[in-house]
């Protein structure tokens, strides 16, 4: 296993080498001091279960799970759980936005990729709950990969969106109004967050910003986002954003497919013929299909999170 390529709130992601396939993988390792935390372990098991059930080229694939015994200091050795995932070369959308933003064509293409991933996960009954630029990877070929289903939930499980210490489940800047109120998230909550993502791609900033999470959450619930004057000549694009960022979920797009269809229709008068008349499958992420057998059998050779692994180095 190689160096750290990403850090999250509870885990680090390392680059690894799969001795069986010979390819590169990403290994998400929970931090040692959290290995005995039942909430952390529950989150990991949930992530493994949910992601293993998703099969879409715009969703990062889960390849393996396990536990590795490490020296745990005064408490003896600790069995630290990990996930082995598809390695995605490229950059996060957050990095691209920090480097100067993206063109309108790319913003639409990336948004369609995200919506394609959400359409698939929502069909499987999985709500992501944390759509944001840091969780969208862009490969060198321009394909989209949605990552980090760590706080996702089954849409049939009415779990609260607030943790035991009342911390928001999700990133406040991209949080839907209902999540900010502590209500249960559904597919329309993901679409609101995707609307925030698209707004930021178009303007270089999220629709709501403040010095603290509570103030941002208040704005999501009570205030309207600043109007994008640069696109005054496109009422259709403005209408897409207004609907995506509606406060009441019944006023938003009711599916990722509906969001994508409206976006493609609005794009026709703004960008080149090829882009503007692209179909739902226009994004690189939506045009490739993964072998169904690999999706259904890729992690069944192991006993979830109870075993150790020697296949990753």
Residues marked as binding? Answer: 28
DSSP one-letter code for 225: P
Residue 263: both structure tokens together:
């976006």
> Which residues fall within 8 angstroms of residue 60, CB to CB, at 6 or more apart?
26, 51, 85, 86, 88, 137, 145, 146, 147
Q: Alpha carbon of 289 to those of 140, 205, 208, 285: distances in Å? A: 18, 33, 36, 9
Asked if residues 110 and 138 have their Cβ atoms less than 8 Å apart, the reply is yes
Count the neighbouring beta carbons within 10 Å of the beta carbon of residue 313.
11
Buried b (16+ CB within 10 A) or exposed e, 151-182: bbbebeeeeebbeeeeebbbbbbbbbbbbbee
Residue 304: both structure tokens together:
């979830």
Q: Which residues line the annotated binding site for ATP?
A: 28
Count the neighbouring beta carbons within 10 Å of the beta carbon of residue 115.
33
Q: Where are the beta strands (DSSP E) in 119-190?
A: 126-127, 136-138, 144-146, 153-154
Residue matched to tokens 């293409």:
109
Q: Which residue out of 64, 130, 148, 190 is catalytically annotated?
A: 130
Residue 12 catalytic? no
Separation CA 25–CA 209 (nearest Å): 35
Active site members: 130
């Amino acid at each position: 296993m190689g160096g750290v390529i990403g850090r999250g709130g509870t885990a680090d992601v390392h680059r690894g080498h799969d001795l069986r396939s010979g390819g590169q993988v990403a290994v998400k390792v929970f931090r040692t001091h959290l290995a005995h935390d039942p909430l952390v372990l529950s989150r990991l098991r949930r992530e493994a279960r949910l992601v293993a059930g998703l099969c879409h080229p715009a969703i990062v694939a889960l390849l393996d799970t396990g536990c590795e015994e490490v020296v745990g200091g005064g408490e003896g050795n600790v069995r630290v759980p990990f996930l082995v995932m598809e390695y995605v070369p490229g950059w996060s959308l957050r990095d691209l936005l920090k480097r100067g933003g993206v063109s309108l064509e790319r913003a639409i293409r990336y948004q369609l990729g995200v919506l394609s991933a959400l359409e698939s996960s929502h069909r499987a009954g999985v709500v992501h709950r944390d759509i944001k630029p840091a969780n969208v990877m862009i490969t060198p070929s321009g394909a989209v990969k949605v990552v980090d289903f760590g706080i996702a939930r089954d849409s049939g499980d009415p779990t609260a969106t607030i943790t035991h210490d009342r911390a928001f489940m999700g990133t406040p800047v991209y949080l839907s109004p209902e999540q900010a109120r502590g209500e249960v998230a559904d597919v329309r909550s993901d679409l609101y967050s995707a609307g925030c993502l698209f707004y930021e791609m178009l303007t270089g900033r999220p629709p709501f910003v403040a010095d603290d999470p509570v103030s941002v959450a208040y704005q999501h619930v009570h205030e309207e986002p600043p109007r994008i004057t640069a696109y005054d000549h496109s009422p259709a694009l403005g209408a897409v954003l207004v609907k995506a960022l509606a406060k009441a979920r019944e006023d938003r797009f009711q599916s990722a497919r509906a969001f994508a269809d409206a976006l493609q229709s609005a794009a026709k008068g703004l960008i080149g013929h090829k882009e503007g008349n692209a179909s739902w499958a226009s994004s690189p992420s939506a045009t490739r299909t993964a072998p169904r057998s690999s999706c259904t059998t890729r992690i069944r050779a192991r006993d979830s999170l109870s075993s150790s692994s020697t296949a990753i180095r």
